[in-house]
Structure 1
Amino acid sequence: MSQSRAEMFTPEGVDLEHPNVARVYDYYLGGKANYAVDRVFGEKALERYPFVAAAAKANRLFLHRVVRYLCKQGIRQFIDIGSGVPTMGSTHQVADEIVDDASVVYVDNEPVAVAHSRILLEQEDVTDQHTVLHADLREPDRLWKQIEESGVIDIEQPVALLLLAVLHVTQPGSDGEDIGPQSVARFRELLPQGSFLVVTHGTADDVPESRKQEMADFGKMYDKSATPVIWRPHGEIEELFGDYELVEPGCTWTPLWHPEESGENAPVVEFDSPNDSVVWAGVARKP
């Protein structure tokens, strides 16, 4: 097994004993910012559950479409929490194709994801417009202060807060309870009027019975990793938007959200049915 880009250097704090969800996700997307422990896990997962790669790619293509859509709505500031590693088109790359004045703050608590994001921004010489923070969504007030101090985002002006495929990674607090929804509620309060909240989340609701069992088994694989996952029902995912106003068509499967915003050369991910994508998505505006 060849050495990946990640193994050429190892940032301080990296756990090499357990697979990490951000690095495994990078592997699913064909990236190089992963370690042997992640590739072994990813290969085993894809061998058993081949739908996972298509679902991951559909989620990333949703990101591309939502960034294009929001740029056209006048949004120029993006906060991408749980952004992972820069694979298959990052938020700032898509935004920069549409406008020349977008600003992006990437946030992740995984050292490899942060390190590779910094390298990408430095290589592209865009660190005056975009930045990356090593931070945790479970501490929204602290994170918000870090965003303000970065100088990249004006927190008094509308922003798009992106929480893509991160909230189904369990976010336990000190008492072991998953506090992801609680953190999202605080972010909704912190966001200025006119901002957008974007969420994608794995769900076993309304998926084919065979896929539902696969998702249960797939989730058990992650139970043994450093980053367990949880599949929420549609209702719980939609509650994350609070009293924000959902953008048409409301919450739906990732392939169905504004397909007209696909890039000219966007890859096509084929599903027998949209619910095979297993990821529920929505965009909502703070009134």
Structure 2
Amino acid sequence: MVERKPNGASGIDVTRPSVARMYDYYLGGKDNFEVDREAVRRVEKAMPEIRQLAQENRAFLRRAVRHMARQGVRQFIDIGSGLPTVGNTHQIAQEITPDARVVYVDNDPVVLQHGRALLATDDNTSVAAADMRRPADVLGHPETVKLIDFSEPVGVLMIAMVHFLTLDERGPIMRQLLDALPSGSHLTATHVTTENHPPEAVAQIEAVYATTPTPIFFRGREEIARFFDGFDLVEPGLVTIDDWHPDPSDPAPQPTKWLYGGVGRKP
């Protein structure tokens, strides 16, 4: 089944939940369908705090982008960027560096359509249709090549994305990204964890995501840290995201502790 959006967009599969549209619904967005909302309701049964977690994740993204920009990073690749929302990577980076360049990468047609419409008048920001499982396509995409100079440091974001990779995929994919980046580049990532959470809740959430094109894999801190191999973790290292340079201006309910996050710098 393909559903046509009111604005005429077609080719969107609404027979299966989409990770990007589910995340949009977590954040209170409207670019989602009933199949996505039903999947979210199933996740909420196991993780009632999922919407708070999504907000925590966005707050971490903002802090991490500010950190990278303050270290002199002027160009960013946001892999698995999701649907546009308040506090996008380019908006945060350009608050510090007005001419910062950002390429958003996703393979969801709704994300691509909305992103291109939003960024149509911003020459320093673009959207590339590519899959993180094929790093060469991400790095060599015409939109990436147009904006990103790989002779200068690059900030790569994989926010709530690396937990969609299998352990077999982790090494080859992360190595290709690492090898393509010059010294001084940064990797920012967040990943769901099994630690201090009921195994039955983890299993239930993994079962929901197994119905999407992108299954999710919860892991412990040691396995998550391997995604940063080759990078020097910025203090305080790999921690739950509420503990990574907390900002008093961020909402401060009881932290969920479901996500580890970190920023690594390539020596």
Q: TM-score, normalised by structure 1?
A: 0.85
Amino acid at match of 1:151: K
In 1, distance between residues paired with 2:22 and 2:265?
Answer: 31
1:270 is matched with which residue?
A: 253
CA contact (8 A) 1:33 1:116 kept: no
Shift of 1:21: 0.7
Query: What is the one-letter code of the residue matched to 1:281?
Result: G
Using the TM superposition, name which of 144-153 and 57-66 deviates more: 144-153
Runs of 4+ aligned structure 1 residues displaced above 3 Å come to 9-13, 147-150
Residue 279 of structure 1 aligns to which amino acid in structure 2? L
Q: 1:238–1:251: 8 Å Cα contact kept in structure 2?
A: yes
- Indicate yes or no: 2:109 matched with 1:111: yes
Out of 117, 124, 127, the residue aligned to residue 132 of structure 1 is: 127
Q: Which has the larger displacement, 141-150 or 45-54?
A: 141-150
Matched position secondary structure for 1:107: strand
Match of residue 254 from structure 1:
241
Residue in 1 that maps onto 2:40 = 42
1:142 to 129, 137, 144: 137
Q: CA deviation at 1:270?
A: 1.5
Of 215, 221, 246, 1:228 maps to 215
The answer (yes or no) to whether the contact 1:107–1:133 under 8 Å persists in 2 is yes
Q: CA deviation at 1:269?
A: 4.3
The residue type equivalent to 1:227 in the other structure is: T
Aligned residue runs from structure 1 range 172-251, under 5 A: 178-205=168-195, 207-208=196-197, 210=198, 212-251=199-238
Structure 2 letter corresponding to 1:192? P
Contact map agreement 2:138 2:144 (CA 8 A) in 1: no
Q: 1:96 aligns with which of 90, 94, 97?
A: 94
CA contact (8 A) 2:112 2:127 kept: yes
- Residue 260 (structure 2) pairs with residue 280 (structure 1): yes
Cα distance in 2 for partners of 1:161, 1:68 equals 13
The C-alpha deviation readout for 1:117-144, integer Å capped at 9, x for no partner, is 111112xx21x10000000111112321
Looking at structure 1, the residues matched to 21 and 170 of structure 2 have their Cα atoms a distance apart, in angstroms, of: 20
Q: How many residues of Structure 1 are paired with residues of Structure 2 in the alignment?
A: 264
Q: CA deviation at 1:92?
A: 0.6
Match in the other structure for 2:148: 153
Task: Tell me the C-alpha RMSD between the 2 structures.
Answer: 2.0
Check conservation: 1:204, 1:232, Cα contact below 8 A: yes
Secondary structure of 2:105's match? strand
2:75 corresponding residue in structure 1 = 77
Paired residue type of 2:42: K
Assess if the C-alpha contact under 8 Å between 1:60 and 1:88 holds in 2: no
User: For each residue in 1:238-265, what CA deviation from the matched residue of structure 2 results, as whole angstroms up to 9, or x when unmatched?
Assistant: 11111211100000001111114x6x4x
Aligned mates of 1:269, 1:229 — CA distance in 2: 27
Normalising by the residue count of structure 2, what TM-score does the alignment of the two structures yield? 0.91
Alpha-carbon distance in structure 2 between the residues aligned to 1:137 and 1:93:
23
CA contact (8 A) 2:73 2:155 kept: yes
Unaligned ranges ≥5, structure 1: 1-5, 172-176
Classify the secondary structure of the residue corresponding to 2:86. Answer: coil
Structure 1 residue 148: Cα displacement = 6.8
- Specify the alignment match of 1:7 in structure 2: 5
SS in 2 for 1:138: coil
Answer yes or no: is the 8 Å Cα contact 1:58–1:269 preserved in 2: no
Q: Which residue of 2 aligns with 1:3?
A: none
- Asked whether the 8 Å contact 2:101–2:125 carries over to 1, the reply is yes
* Contact in 2 for aligned 1:200/1:280 (Cα 8 Å): yes
8 Å contact 1:121–1:131 — kept in the other structure?
yes
Aligned-partner SS, 1:186: helix
- DSSP-derived class of the 2:78 partner: strand
One-letter amino acid of the counterpart of residue 253, structure 2: E
Following the alignment from structure 1 to structure 2, what is the Cα–Cα distance between the partners of residues 182 and 56? 28
Equivalent of residue 121 in structure 1, options 116, 119, 134: 119
3-state SS of the aligned residue for 1:183? helix
Which AA in structure 2 matches 1:245? D
